[in-house]
Amino acid sequence: MQRLVLSCCTVASLLAAREAAAACPAGVPWPAADWPEALMSGPTVAAADEYLFTLTGRDEDREGIRTDGVVMVHRGRVVYEHYARGYAQHNRHLAWSVSKSFLNAMVGVGVGRGALTVDDSICDHYDAGAELCDVTVGDLLDWGSGIDWNEGYEDEPYYLSSVIAMLYGIGSGDMAAFVAAQGLAETPGTIYRYSSGDTVLLSAVLAGALGPGLAADYPWEFIFDPIGMTSAMFERDQAGTYVGSSYVYATPRDMARFGYLFLHDGCWDGEQIVPEGWVAASTQPNPSFQMGKSYEHFLRDGDAVPGRHWWLNLPVPDLAHERRWPAAPPDTFAGLGHWGQTIFVVPSADLVLVRVADDRESGFDQNRYLELALTLAAEDSP
């Protein structure tokens, strides 16, 4: 099956730009114990406040846009910050599926240290059963394992949902084993199917590759400590596997540190934390997606294009896929999570946006949010 061709050499041009800037840049302002501030005011800030923080009806009814906090970092300074609904700067927030992007970075560090490669069979590092030994680390990063999985949430009966069974039901004690037990529905690497199961299994594979000396502490050694994410928490299941699909907690300011790490190609204060080239490889359309075969539920009109545990703002004309966020540049990428959690990274605007929320309805307009943020960034330009 041929891979898809993206329009106007977009991917090639973005990769060339990122690779040209791959060496850790000099002169970048890095946050120390806390972010420097240059908080803005004026009509655009007022418009952002009104759009992001106006509740619909009573809070307990859980209607409309329900933002808990937003942090915008432009040129290395916090230029906008607002909290609501009882949240404040010091409060951790559940990242939900933004956790997947954190796991991407941790796998990247493991690859950089030589513990595993994206071409390894998962059976090299985890006892997944013979049926799954054709699944590679890269397939899991692509959500292309072929494992039989239903990523259904509130819009489907709970008993049909693999992810609910994994997180809260019969699979919650040993989530990776539960995922492996589902078996294959498709040939690995031939079909894209968004799956929290793939991500949890990837967590177990990474831990197995690192061995007992690092399996318990790698989130802190690899990412959280080097970039100063002092608020970070990462839940494990009863078997000791980090729930990489869903359960990272941190303050929005610390989540912004993670976005800033990826804004600068995995560098932090002169040190290459995530290996050179990993960010570029993770923020192009993933190989399983490019095969052109997908489960329709996760290839709807208006969806972002999947990278490797990140989401991209690139068009795919062969699938009638327009840019997900037309107000933003094509180099924009994001970690996206349930109920409105987002980390947006806009390299060409030197911008990182973090939003934490409790959106139980689908009315939040990410494009409008990006439009407001980019207007603020333009007003802040030197």
Tokens of 327: 């107000």
| Percentage of the residues of the chain whose pLDDT score is greater than 90 | 79
pLDDT of residue 17: 45
Q: How far apart are CA 345 and CA 282, in angstroms?
A: 13
pLDDT tens-digit series, residues 106-131: 999 999 999 999 999 999 999 999 99
Q: Is pLDDT at 20 greater than 50 in this prediction?
A: no
How confident is the model over 166-196, as pLDDT tens digits?
A: 999 999 999 999 999 999 999 999 999 999 9
What is the pLDDT confidence band of residue 22, given thresholds at 50, 70 and 90?
low
Residues 6+ apart with CB under 8 A from 118: 111, 136, 137, 138, 141
271-306 burial, b for 16+ CB within 10 Å, e for fewer?
A: ebbbbebbbbbbbbbbbbbbbbebbeeebeeebbbb
Mean of the pLDDT values across residues 284-302? 69
- Residue 184 DSSP class: B
Largest CA distance in the chain: 61
Of 32-41, 42-51, 320-329, minimum mean pLDDT range: 320-329
* Average pLDDT, integer, range 30-38: 96
Cα–Cα distance, 89 to 54 (Å, whole number): 19
CA distance 44 to 379: 9
pLDDT mean over 85-101: 97
Confidence grade of residue 295 (pLDDT, cut at 50, 70, 90): low
pLDDT at 97 over 60: yes
Average pLDDT over residues 135-145: 97
The pLDDT, as a whole number, for residue 235 is 98
pLDDT at 302: 54
Report which DSSP code applies to 90.
Answer: T
Angle CA(19)–CA(24)–CA(28) in degrees, nearest 5?
115
Q: What is the mean pLDDT of residues 350-370?
A: 95
Report in angstroms the alpha-carbon separations of 102 from 3, 98, 112, 219, 371: 27, 7, 15, 9, 25
| pLDDT above 70 as % of the chain | 92
